Amino acid sequence: MMGGDTSYHASRLTCSAPASLPGSSITVMLGDMGMTQMMGGTAPVGARMMLRAFPATVPSGLVSLVAENVGWRTHELVILPLAAGAAAGQLVPGSDGKVAEAGTLGEASTPCGAGAGDGIRSGSASWTTVTLAPGRYELICNLPNHYADGMHQEIVVTG
């Protein structure tokens, strides 16, 4: 159950990040709804998905992001700088259903492991530690159509 919406699937996590990751910590819940079985990453446009970061504000420096996939589909977490005046959710997906990852600062997409991989399977966690300067960043899932389906959130890094 996410944010009071009982229609989201809630997979029990089979693994978790190490307890002692460096720096500030952000937990990112990745989820979807309307599924009846585990599936790959491609989703139809219009599927209901969510990406929620807690907390959404952290101090600058080392930040460890832990992505927990409690949904049915495979997901990932990508960290992008957010341009001045831009808001999360404004990037335009290409014909492949993905947004440009120019300036990517890090990725968590290895099931039960750190860093980039093939995607976080249902019930798995992945993590990454990055150094973030003060500013605004957008956390996204960039598997086909996931961004368009709502998997993005702004975080603020304070000085």
Q: Smallest Cα–Cα separation from 127: which of 13, 35, 43?
A: 13
Beta bridge partners of 31: 50
Q: What is the pLDDT of residue 7?
A: 54
Q: For residue 2, is pLDDT > 50?
A: no
- pLDDT band, very low/low/confident/very high, at 4 (cuts 50, 70, 90): very low
Complete domains list, the chain, with CATH: 24-158 (2.60.40.420)
Mean pLDDT of 38-67: 89
pLDDT of residue 9: 59
- Total residues belonging to the chain: 159
Please name the residues in contact with 107: beta carbons below 8 A apart, sequence gap of 6 or more: 76, 77, 78, 79, 115, 116, 128
**C-beta of residue 77 within 8 angstroms of C-beta of residue 17:** no
pLDDT of residue 132: 98
Tens-place pLDDT, residues 73-130 = 999 999 999 999 999 999 999 999 999 998 999 999 999 999 999 999 999 999 999 9
